[in-house]
Structure 1
């Protein structure tokens, strides 16, 4: 089912592009940029940063400093102010500019809000035109499979350049036994430890996952603190977590839980399988969907619940969400 969703998203984008005039296509190309930090955080409006948030808005970013320095109240204050995150090398389309800020749409994060991708505001300093990088996107790519991984300036791995997130994709220039030389958006080539990544010729080459593969991917992040709008190995929100588990396994699903709940195949509770997405809604499951988790099996789920906690495995009934169960969807064939 999800391979079909992924293909459909790509097909719609291609039809839209083909329908444009040459002038429109050129203008669209000029509005294409790439994320130039390990994970860019997108806001609902420019200039909402507090002092504690500044490490998230620089180039380079320091996401560990940001998340570690926030109090619980600081984390709660982000709710409703952040939109999503975009990983290093992600393609975005410029929608609007205001001072040092840019409103962009993040490709491959489907949403009804914008046909190009998930919208939000980010500092211009975290973007690059990446023309040289763009020319290398037709090469094999390294998909980061460790929760986070370091890029290095040297093959021996002694000169650290940047810590990047799980699910980051970078073009491969050359492979060695234990190292990979990859292209970056604006800093030339860097070195990556081969055991931190999987290398594929194309997205379609990523093996179709089983439900247990999705669960096992999620277990890599047990105890990782929750971050509203988080989409990286530095912190996830609930739907950022489920989206990432699927995307890292070659499947694109919608970005938000309320939209994830409308796609895939409905599954009755007695027929749940590992990897199915579980949804929870206000008004004892009859209202708006506000939370999503991945079914593990034996009545348990893995999820990133809220700002007070971390990625964890809970029994559905005693998770605090049991009375809000609103159904399940299967995104695997």
Structure 2
């Protein structure tokens, strides 16, 4: 049986154990179809206590592996990771997923949100669902200024000005990707985040590229093995820079989007934000381990 996420977003928790932060966030989400509200202290706690591994967007398909009274353990096929055969695994609240209506078809035409936030109007109810950049939903039809899509809450519609067909051949994709990345300058870093509420470093890259139909692995170490490798001297704006400990010879720990002219934009570090940094003359120069071209 197939399932998909019925809330704007949810975290993929490391364990089904009780925690005050889990209960606080769970209570928030029961009131409306909106995103979590996270304090700066809560963001740091997610990181410091390593409570979560990733985040899921509305409509993300999952496979249920196990359950407790409160949680499902799930695999997320759209978030590849070398440690898991069927995609990232973790625990989510039971009420956050519904059974997918029908069979999930390979190659099914889909729509993706390409702005920071969008609203989906559900036909069968007065619900307005707020969704994030990178939300992908099955396409039904287009009419006037709207795409009609299948959602976990029924048939809905989303404005064409905030969404597009989900494929890898978007016109001027790299240019638009860079513009989109810059729109997030000063957004707070959120450990494991993949939505406009806050990104971690690899979540930022994962979501940006996903929006243009290029689905990378979820984490930086796996991403650094994908795409076409180029040298830093050959790098073009829109290529991706990966950084490793031990002067680039150790474990990959960070990633940024190259802007050209020796600069990158990246979700910097816990307690910080999305920013633009120079490579030469900084620690990034010595830690640069590979440059990858994921979009041609």
1:296 and 2:259 are equivalent in the alignment: yes
1:177 and 2:153 are equivalent in the alignment: no
SS in structure 2 opposite 1:329? strand
SS in structure 1 opposite 2:214? coil
Q: After superposition, where does 1:76-225 map in structure 2 within 5 Å?
A: 76-79=44-47, 80-131=50-101, 134=103, 140-153=109-122, 161-185=128-152, 187-199=153-165, 203=167, 206-207=169-170, 210-225=173-188
In the alignment, which residue of structure 2 is the partner of 1:231?
194
Greater share of strand: 2
- Is residue 13–residue 54 contact of structure 2 (8 Å, CA) maintained in 1? yes
SS in structure 2 opposite 1:63? coil
Relative to the length of structure 2, the TM-score reads 0.87
- Is residue 109–residue 117 contact of structure 1 (8 Å, CA) maintained in 2? yes
Q: 1:230 to 1:282 in 2, by over 3 A?
A: same
- Is residue 40–residue 271 contact of structure 2 (8 Å, CA) maintained in 1? no
Unaligned ranges ≥5, structure 1 = 1-29
- Is residue 56–residue 62 contact of structure 1 (8 Å, CA) maintained in 2? no
RMSD, aligned α-carbons? 2.7
- Is residue 121–residue 129 contact of structure 2 (8 Å, CA) maintained in 1? yes
In structure 2, how many angstroms separate the alpha carbons of the residues matched to 1:52 and 1:103?
15
In structure 2, how many angstroms separate the alpha carbons of the residues matched to 1:269 and 1:113?
29
- Is residue 208–residue 250 contact of structure 1 (8 Å, CA) maintained in 2? no
1:272 and 2:235 are equivalent in the alignment: yes
Q: 1:288 to 1:231 in 2, by over 3 A?
A: same
**CA positional deviation for 1:160:** 5.4
In the alignment, which residue of structure 2 is the partner of 1:24?
none
Unaligned ranges ≥5, structure 2 = none
- Is residue 264–residue 277 contact of structure 2 (8 Å, CA) maintained in 1? yes
- Is residue 123–residue 155 contact of structure 2 (8 Å, CA) maintained in 1? no
SS in structure 1 opposite 2:161? helix
In the alignment, which residue of structure 1 is the partner of 2:293?
330
**CA positional deviation for 1:173:** 3.4
Q: 1:274 to 1:136 in 2, by over 3 A?
A: same
In the alignment, which residue of structure 2 is the partner of 1:63?
35
Relative to the length of structure 1, the TM-score reads 0.78
In structure 1, how many angstroms separate the alpha carbons of the residues matched to 2:24 and 2:115?
26
Number of positions where the alignment pairs a residue of Structure 1 with one of Structure 2: 292
Greater share of helix: 1
